[in-house]
Structure 1
């Protein structure tokens, strides 16, 4: 028998063995995997997932104490469609694997369709809840959890997404959608005062608002207050425009300087400029050695390179013999 024919027989024998044993083995593993995934997926259909995964128990306890306590996990978290059970099982395996590796597993999202299966009424008209009036038709493209984080099983030590006024004003600050009054969105209800005490707005508008109102996002102030309103007290444009770092010197040398100090400490200016700002009264006769020590680059943050020459040479003693050869830091002669 030739070596070539013998090799063919060996190859054929291996192929038959592959078809007889290996393929069924892989098929069996696949079936077992599907069964495991199906079983895990079915566990979502009842409360079994909390018995399998101890990390879910705090959520299950919180859910039992909420308005959603009578719902099963599947009511909000199970997928839809003929293969959803397998997909849910695979998702559980991924999260379990992450937990075993010490990685915080991702949360199972709740589909908007699940929320709307019970709360479809929120899409009709204006809803009022907890002192806020909102029209949900304007947010059809936004996930429900974007504003209603933690709904169903909120745990005290976790931080959830809740709507803030700054979020609303991302759209409503434009002139075409700008609310004309606070009452357009803020409706007086029994617990509105309690909720307001927890908000950033109450901190910046409370009894100590004069010292606290700058703690918030200044860009949010213009949602209700025009820049001219702020300028009545501050004397300058607020929030400061983007060009302010280049232009604030003119305001800082005028009578507005004292108003700057209502928000900024004097050391704040010096920390940025690298020298005492505004310059003290004795700065003019003593600035020479200081300029040599700190370097001309520091001075040129505010002064043009020609400023030294304009003062030292051209204006004071342009005809002094030898002055033309004097080297001045900054490039002047």
Structure 2
């Protein structure tokens, strides 16, 4: 308190011993109370000190907020390398991270900063195996509408017709469709885990950010529309718009394993998985069967065979102004005669007929394999075996291959007439696209055929070609 001058000894009756007994804070408070506030000089001095204090506190606070709001600050932690590298390679690299990840408003900013203290704790004590956005911190429509207009009916490509305003008025989160616009759905793909964070660089980000993961895929639209047609509004649950947290899912699985017998454990584990992935089945087998049936039905609806009297049509023309179907597909009998084209141009076929476009679920990927594949730029070589495997793996193909072709006529006639269609090895290979030669072994890693009819069901003594050998 020297700035206000020494106090008059006569007005300070306390002895030296008394002052020693008083604490520092209490002593300062007594001196502060002893200041003559009637003196205008002292009041001006107080104002000056207060102004300096405010400048230091608020200026320092603003500096800290500005620093922590910078993308560069985010990149200072190694665990954020995947997120930062994709951000710099995205179309949103001219805005800061907080413009998307923190709701507008000073209160939201401060609240978020306080919650972010736990991230510092994790950084020091142990970084999570995978960074996954939580339901509470999901990007809100408020953030998107700071820059984007909701009065948008046509996308930049000019082909799609999407009523953005109608979706927003239904409280559908923007990230339900645009989840990969910045980070290419890396969490769902499983390529931002601790083991591979060092592989994320500005160069690798360009390779890993494929367009199919940046843009909304058709599977997202189909899945949501299908649920609406069944009376469900999936976006009402925040978990529908964010990827499941693998660590939470793992904990649920571990907890379920500790309860009951092995049979009960399996059922409980399936329920935990079901809850995390929003599936309705109670066992793995039932979930797989239900998934296969549902996806095949959805595919048939997506190609124009949707059910009648539905709330949301899945016909292509509903969302696309102009559907570009190759001329070769418009030839009569194309559905039954496209095998030769598939063998020669499989790489072109999968540009449209790939599961990642038609299904909402994102398959897990291996970042090392992706980078190597990008570096080698392997060229497709016509191979019937590759085509066969693709036709079985690809749900779009298997949806039709599981149906009996029109060329097979009636069963009784086909059984006695199909031998001439399978004389050569090439002809047989075409049959094996849909049929297995021998009975599938349960639990085998072999890709399941789209039909359960296999050759040795009737040819139990083998084939003539085998006997000649």
Q: TM-score, normalised by structure 2?
A: 0.35
Structure with higher RCO (Cα < 8 A, 6+ apart):
2
Q: Which has the larger radius of gyration?
A: 1
